[in-house]
Structure formats: structure tokens, C-alpha cells
Structure 1
């Protein structure tokens, strides 16, 4: 379906930029914006943004602006996503970049396609990768901040594959925003400063330490940061595509950084980089209420687990969803947390790279079968199943028995949602996994200051390969395998007309699933606009304690959940949701108040 709306500018005047070429031209000229990222990393009220023709939502204003300029120049949603990602590599290096991976769900007006750029494990690894000499799992940070954790990156290869099918503007032109900002500099945001200040292992990297901590102190807020090494690397990728990361000086430098790590060197090789392939997969599309919800299939656990949660909630008795202050109510939170426990029990047992693991019964959709969900929903009562009380179900006959993966840390990432004037829409979640990834910076062999950070994506595998009885874990480390992910890029369509309803997603490690599921409910079930839905306080569980967003719920809510048997704890739950909702007059976008993102459009 192609959407076209009358031309009207609805972005704030301070963000409006002139382009020196008409929108019909096949290329565009990037103008350095006269804006800076927000100066606060704490919660900031966001107004929500109404547009009529197109919209782009991303985690940093400079990245959003790059996508906006591409769309104004006649570029497609996919073109804009490339420009956004390259700028994020520069301005939000702690979250995503060319050294990591991504999942993208794309709608071209007719078909929904899933493009996969998940990293792969090196050929030389085995299931003992993250075990110490006693056979015990390494502490998470010991594994993450090392060469062991680096997988073959896939973001650039994935975007290249998608651009061949969905791009409008020339590939090379889409790198100009990031190159210009890298060469001329950008002001360090509060969030980047705070992330650097809270970080220790990055300071020890021979390239990243001097670059991000001049004089031993983290870069100050507002300080102009230039990254000439990244500019040179991006010029090579612009000219030669993903091959620049697979062979030649940039690839050789990447491998040398991994294999030469001073603490725990990894085995990633030039052959691993040369053999990497992005994947075009069939998107998973599932009915829910009056909608068709489309997301990414395994190795992402996002869509299946989100839809299990929504399907379980749909089968539970109706309760008041919001309290008198407009927060999720205690009865609804209880149901949501219990549904999450059951869904995560299935996730931890069954979901892994489909090239290595069969779906239960040979079909992932069996995990969403109505009869199966009805039986699982019957396990939810007025009392909590409690920490560790939810067992996986049996969604289909199993040819292999898997053990459940123990809970371990997951982090990440950044999310991008875009709808262009022609009606193309995408949701893309992109990551280097932990904050600052493996804490290894690579300069492409340029010898210039700066560079890009390498992922620690392999820590998304189970550190232990089997349970105490020797039963293998589906998401264990294997050569060439793609680790399980929680990324949940989501597109929603009207179940009858097929019209686009929304694009959304979030960073947040395993909590991405909760953030996305709750936002879908808030927008499409409770009727909140995109911004109000993203403003709501969070509650999550990975099967153990119930975590409530710190300072956001009253004592009565915490006490009510505790009386039901939940082990309630408060903690920071820093999502980074982005959402665009179709409206009668165009679109309304929201950006998470917990981060510095904005929405732009016309």
C-alpha cells in the first residue's frame, strides 16, 4: 500500500534544514545540522511528533536528522536506515555500529521481508569457549571484554543486501552524513559522556583509551569529537561495500585486534570474515486481536516470545489495565509478569539458530498455536508461579531433547523505525551487544585517531553447553552458528485491510521483549498514542524476580505483587523505544524519554 499525503512541514523549526538539491534527484547533498544531541541522559519529557508524509525515529538527534535528510531527498526508508546506522556508529558507539549485527523487518507496500545481519561464531570455536580451566563459566565481563566474544560482524552486509532490493539513492551517498560528522566533529552528548564515565575496561584498550579518555578523563559533554579513522573506513565501505570489511586492510586490522587481545585473544579469522553471509528470511507474521504483527524469526527469540506473552494475556480474565494515575495496574502487571515467566521458559528451552536447531514439531508457529497457548494460560492464577516456578511447555513433538539455558546477562542496542513517502516501512534493531561491545577498537589499519568498536555478540550464546545431566542446550556455542537474540523489530498491520499500523522496537537486552510487548498493548489495546505508550513505567521478569522500574510505581503496587508471591525488586530499566503509528492524517511518532532520541518528518 502506497501512502501519500499533502506536503506540510511539522518538524520543529530548530531542526529544519535546507537541501540544495530537489527531492527528485537521484542523489542528495548532506547539510551539517545546526543541532546537538540532548544534554541530559536522565528521563526527559518528549512531546511526540506528528507528520504527514514520512517519519524517522532514531536514538540520537544527529542520526535522526541524517535519515530525515535522505527521505527529503527522495530516498527510501532503507536508504534512510543506512544513513542513520552509519551516524549511530559515530555518535552512539556504545550501542551499535559497523562492528556489530542487526535485524531488519521491511515492508515494501506488498511483502514483508526479514533481513538478518546477526554475527556468526568463528570456525575455530567450540562449546567450551566461555569455560575456564576448571570447566566453570567465565564471569560475564571477563568473557565480554575480550577477543573471545567477537563474532563476524553482519550489519554492513545486511544493509548492502537490503539496499540491492529496496534502495533508491546510490549506496555511497548514504555514507556522507557520517563521514562529514566524523571529519568535522560532533558535540559529545550527555549519554555518551555518562556511558564513558561508568566504563572501566574500555579505558584499557590501546586505541579507545586515549581516544575517549584524553588525559585519563572521559570526554566532556559538548566537547567536539572528531573520528578521522572512522571517516576513512566509511569511505572504503562506501566505495567497495561490505567487501571492505571482509578482506583487505580493514579486515586484516579487525582480525589482528581480536587475535592480538592482551587478555583473552579470540580466534576470528579472515576466512570467517570472507565467508560471512547476510540472510534474507521469511518474516514471522502472527494474528493478534484485529492486527497482523510481523517480526523476526529465529535466531531472534523476540517475535515468538512477544507474541506468546500477548497470546497468553488475551486468554486471561479482563482486569483494569491502568491505575488512577495512568500506570499499569497491579492486577495487569501480575498477569503480564506471569505470562512473561511462561514465555521465557519456552524461549530458554527451544529457540536458537534454525540452521542448527529444529523448531518444536518442525514449525516455530506451534509455539503460538491457540490450543497450546490456552493450556499455558490456564497455569496463570491469582498467585505467582514464583522465581523459577515456570516450566517450559511442549508445543510440538520433539526430535531432540534440549536443556533450558540458565539466565545470564544480555544487553544492547539501538532501534530505528522509518516510514517513507511511498509507504515503505521498516523496523531495525541494531547492536554490538554490551555497552561498548568487546571494548576493542579497530582503526582499519589507518593509523588515524579513533575507529569503531567490535561486538561481544558471542556472549549471547549459553556459556555452559549442557545441563547437569549432560543434556545439550540449544543455544550453545558452535562454529558458524548465530547466537540467539532478543531483538524484536516489529511492524503491525490492520488484519483486514493490510494497511500499516505501526513500526516499533527497543534496545534493552532480554527486556526488549517486555518493552515491545507492553508498548504494543498500550498503543493498540489501551488506545494510547505512541509517545504516551513509551512513557509508561516498565516491569519485567526473566523467570526470577519481578523487576519494577525504580521510583515509578507506588508502594501499594509493590506490596500487592509481593502478596501474590512475586519477589519484587526495583532497578533501572533503561529502554530506548522508538515507535511510529499511522494516523488518519499521516503518522505520530514517539521516542523513549529515557534516552536522547527524537522523531523527524514532514
Structure 2
């Protein structure tokens, strides 16, 4: 059910009002040097707009969203158009062959709703799906490539449901930008070209090879015009007949044939699986951070719970005083260890496992967990806690593997907002392309490969009809008076949680504008080593963290955060300089 977002009336005092007025003005830009200067990432200009704004991972997709907003479309309309274009220009990350989570803020009704368009396991799936003949978990790449990894896609049903609830423009009109690009062509971006050059398995699929590669087998170069008439035909069918055109009939038959027809690694999806797919409305998961309310997606996503747990631990510290640096990284990493320990044990599809969601973000529970953090010494690997409302259970922890995604942030002229994280899981998904011109996901590899540990079942094991655990963390932030303040989220697999937490601290504690907040060096921990972004200012914190006992790893941490912040003058937007996105509006 949609959630009314209340103001914290007890906090409505003059001092807070004066403080909040300063916060909601244009955020400060003086806390840290521009990260792109240190890392070589693309320097991007802070986006500004007075009426509405769209932020997405590719300029063509963001432009499609702005086009819809200019035509009087809603935030939901713009998000739909953006997603369809992303299927073309960023096919490695998301598309109609995958799934998504969507948050929607209704400004007039003051309500927040969340829709779960996560993929589901086929009815024939068993817990042993990703075990080899020896009874041991398969290698990730062996599980991914082929039909075995493909979940029943949810994105098209999600887009249709969002339009039914919050759309303003005709459904078919939202398909026009993507159809035009598919037919007339678009230039392959440097990022897509670079990923094609690194990819080892996509060219083995005949349809994908014809589309993405030259006759000599080399990947098409950046700037090459790519046309996809098959996808244009798919979009026309959905535009004319609705989501039913995807889940039944020729498109559905082709999906099933593609999944089950793989020579080496076939899947078991059926037409009944596709026809039975339903979007689930979930209760928004909201918690406080200082004077703000943070809202996100509940299970089967672990994103909102983990982000709120991390920030709950940080709420016990004066993060504004610390600013970016080794000490802040210590606290963020230790909080991340605690959050990921709980995530590994408790999180899964709530239709299959009892998830103590409210207990995991209970303020007293988080304060108790925060006492485990030493200001001077790293804790090593954390253990899961015992949150309130936990039912008796005998489960084993399981970390799991997650990879790529994309994120969309939109605010329309009426003040409605969408935060949507969308995915086909690994880069280029299952490496299977349909006759309809789109790639299929490998989302089932987000399940735990081992169904049990030490004789105990894991919460995120494969089961028929089940939705795999996710780390996607689309987030909407409200100020102390219940007003929309920020819309954000990121791709990045299980690192999404740390990316979003960092961005929120940068926005809310360090008062960085959204461009500097998303570009700030990434850092954190997933209950293992403390991870610092290679080539960023965070490298300079390594020695200080090691002195506190942290095992530090320098990694490529390629987030792709989009963030929009509401100010008295309009909107400020940031798109992560590590990728090709932009935040634009009027």
C-alpha cells in the first residue's frame, strides 16, 4: 500500500527550521576537491533546472525523458521512455529482458508507493539449480551463459503498471523516442564499445554476434551507427497491445525458445511462467537519518535495509565534523560489515522466508549494533545480530554474487518523483539475444548457488516462483517536514549499497552538491576487506586505515549514481562521472 510520509512534528522548532532552510538551499561545494581531477573520470557540470529534471546513464536516454516531460508527461511517463531507450544505448545493463524496482512519490497525494518488477524463477526451478554434477556450486560464468540463468522478466509489466497508476501521456507516445532510435540508428558510445571489447561470451550467440560485432568478429567501434529494426518491431507491438504482447504470443514464444534452446546450458522457462508474471506492490521501507526520512525498496531487495542500517550506525557519530577521509571511511566500512552480515542471513523473498525488516531497521537495534564498532580498531568479519520481530529460524548465511545495473531519477513539473533501479544482472545478461532484438537477463544467478550451508537452508536459495535477493537501492529522501528533498540510486551489484550510503552522507552531512556527491571517491566494506576506489583520493587513506587494523583493497569501483536534489530555486542534478550519464531539465 502507498505510504503517507509524515513530518516529524516534534522537530518543528525554530532552530531546526533555520538550520533546514540553510540545508535546502544550494548545497555547499567546498568540502572536497573535484574527484575527477584525481581520477581522470569525465568532469561533468552540475545540472540545474527550475521545472523538472531527468537523470539517466546515457545522454540519449536522459534526453528522451526530458522530451516526455516537455510534452507534459509525468515522472512515470519519463521513466518509461528512459528505460526503453536504455535498452538500446546501454544494453549491457538493463532492458525489457530484465527486471526493476520503482519508487513513486505522488506530490499531491503526499504518498509514496513501491513496485517490485523483479524477475522470478520458473516453476520448474529447484534449489540445486546451480550445483554441478559433483554437488558443488558451478563457476559463475558457467551458470550465467545460457538459458539456465534467465528469470521471468518483470520490466515490461512494471512499466505498464506504473503508467496505469501515474501516467499522463498515451502509452504508445512513450515508445516513440526508442522506436525512432532503433530504426534510424544511434552511435555506439565509448563505454559500450569498451565493454564489448572486453566481453568473451556474447559473440557466441548468433543474433548478438550479428548485432554487436563486425563480419570479422571484431566488436563494433565507438561511433558506429547501430540500428535495431527487430527491437523497433517489438516496441511497436507492446505500444499497440500493451504488456500482454510481451508475455503472450510471438514475443513470449521466442523468449521461451531462446531460453530452452541453448545447446550447452538450456533453461526451463515456459509460456505459463511468462503469462503468470505479476508485479508486486510492496510497503515502502522508511527510516530516519538525522532530520531526514529515507525511503526505499523492501525485500526481496536488501538495499534499503542495508543502507538504513549503515546510516543508523553513522547517526551515532558527527559525520559532518569528520568530513571525507580515513576516519569517516573507517566508520562507513565498519557499519557496512554489520549491515552485510545481517543481509547474508536474513534477506530473501518475503513470500518464501520471514524477513524481520522492521526489526533490522529498528533504531534501538541499530544503536546496539553500533556499540560493536570501535573508533580505533577494525572489527574483522562481523556476525549477524538478533533483531526484534525475528522468528525462530535455522538459516545459514550466504553472500551471493551480483553485478551490473542502471538507475533512473526523475522529478516532473508537478513535483512527482520516480527513483528506479533496473537490471539484466551481469554485463550483457545471459548473453542470449531474442529475435525481438533485446538481451535476456541472468538474474537467477543472484540466488545463492549453494542451497544450504552446514545442513541449514539459506534464505536466498533457488525455489520455483521465487524472486532473488537484490542489492538495488532506489532511494527517495524527505526533509523534516515531509517534503521531497532528494531522488537517488546507483548501479553496481552488491556495491550499490555502499555507493548509495556514501552519496547520502555526502549530500546530507557534508552538504556537497549532487554532482560532487556522486563523484566523491567510493569506499566501504561488504563484510570483508575495506574497499577503496583505485585511482581516487581514497587511496590516500589506505595507510591510516591499515593502522587501525583494516585489510584494505584498492578496487575499480565503477558506480553510476544519479541524484536530483530539490532546492528553493528548483532542482540540482548529478550524474556519476565514472559513466556517461547526465542530469538535465528545464
Fold match, TM over 0.5?
yes
Secondary structure of the residue aligned to 1:207 is: helix
Task: Return the offset for 1:589.
Answer: 0.3
Equivalent in the alignment of 2:471: 486
Structure 1 distance, partners of 2:196, 2:425, is 16
The 3 A distance-change label for structure 1 pair 84 and 174 is same
Structure 2 distance, partners of 1:578, 1:58, is 7
Equivalent in the alignment of 1:172: 172
Task: Return the offset for 1:553.
Answer: 3.2
> Contact 2:103–2:115 (CA<8 Å) still a contact in 1?
yes
Task: Return the offset for 1:290.
Answer: 0.9
Secondary structure of the residue aligned to 2:322 is: coil
Gapped runs of 5+ residues in structure 2? 5-38
Gapped runs of 5+ residues in structure 1? 2-40, 323-327, 445-450
Offset from partner CA, 1:60-105 (integer Å, 9 cap, x none): 0000010100000000000001100000001100000000000000
Structure 1 distance, partners of 2:396, 2:43, is 40
Equivalent in the alignment of 2:433: 441
The 3 A distance-change label for structure 1 pair 406 and 386 is farther
| From 477, 484, 501, the counterpart of 1:517 | 501
> Contact 1:42–1:594 (CA<8 Å) still a contact in 2?
no
Structure 2 distance, partners of 1:257, 1:144, is 14
| From 440, 453, 475, the counterpart of 2:460 | 475
Task: Return the offset for 1:285.
Answer: 1.7
Q: TM-score by structure 1 length?
A: 0.89
Task: Return the offset for 1:385.
Answer: 4.4
Task: Return the offset for 1:359.
Answer: 2.2
Equivalent in the alignment of 1:332: 328
Structure 2 distance, partners of 1:408, 1:297, is 18
Task: Return the offset for 1:454.
Answer: 0.2
Question: What pairs with 1:13-92 in structure 2 (closer than 5 Å)?
Answer: 43-92=41-90
Question: What pairs with 1:120-269 in structure 2 (closer than 5 Å)?
Answer: 120-214=120-214, 215-269=216-270
Equivalent in the alignment of 1:399: 391
Matched, 1:565 2:549: yes
Question: What pairs with 1:341-356 in structure 2 (closer than 5 Å)?
Answer: 341-356=337-352
Structure 1 distance, partners of 2:265, 2:538, is 45
Offset from partner CA, 1:381-427 (integer Å, 9 cap, x none): 0354454x200000025434243433343112100000000111110
| From 379, 400, 405, the counterpart of 2:372 | 379
> Contact 2:471–2:497 (CA<8 Å) still a contact in 1?
yes
> Contact 2:358–2:389 (CA<8 Å) still a contact in 1?
no
The 3 A distance-change label for structure 1 pair 554 and 216 is same
Equivalent in the alignment of 2:26: none
> Contact 1:416–1:427 (CA<8 Å) still a contact in 2?
yes
The 3 A distance-change label for structure 1 pair 344 and 554 is closer
Task: Return the offset for 1:247.
Answer: 1.1
Offset from partner CA, 1:580-601 (integer Å, 9 cap, x none): 0001100000000000001111
Structure 2 distance, partners of 1:567, 1:345, is 17
Offset from partner CA, 1:135-172 (integer Å, 9 cap, x none): 10001111111211100000110110111010000111
**What RMSD, in angstroms, separates the aligned Cα atoms of the two structures?**
1.5
Equivalent in the alignment of 1:429: 421
| From 97, 101, 104, the counterpart of 1:103 | 101
Task: Return the offset for 1:556.
Answer: 4.8
Secondary structure of the residue aligned to 1:453 is: coil
Which moves more between the two structures, 408-417 or 171-180? 408-417
> Contact 2:362–2:388 (CA<8 Å) still a contact in 1?
no
Equivalent in the alignment of 1:365: 358
Which moves more between the two structures, 538-547 or 578-587? 538-547
Structure 2 distance, partners of 1:526, 1:385, is 24
Equivalent in the alignment of 1:390: 382
Task: Return the offset for 1:508.
Answer: 0.2
> Contact 1:121–1:478 (CA<8 Å) still a contact in 2?
yes
Which moves more between the two structures, 560-569 or 125-134? 560-569
Q: TM-score by structure 2 length?
A: 0.91
Structure 1 distance, partners of 2:64, 2:319, is 44
Structure 2 distance, partners of 1:582, 1:339, is 28
Structure 1 distance, partners of 2:349, 2:249, is 29
Secondary structure of the residue aligned to 1:429 is: strand
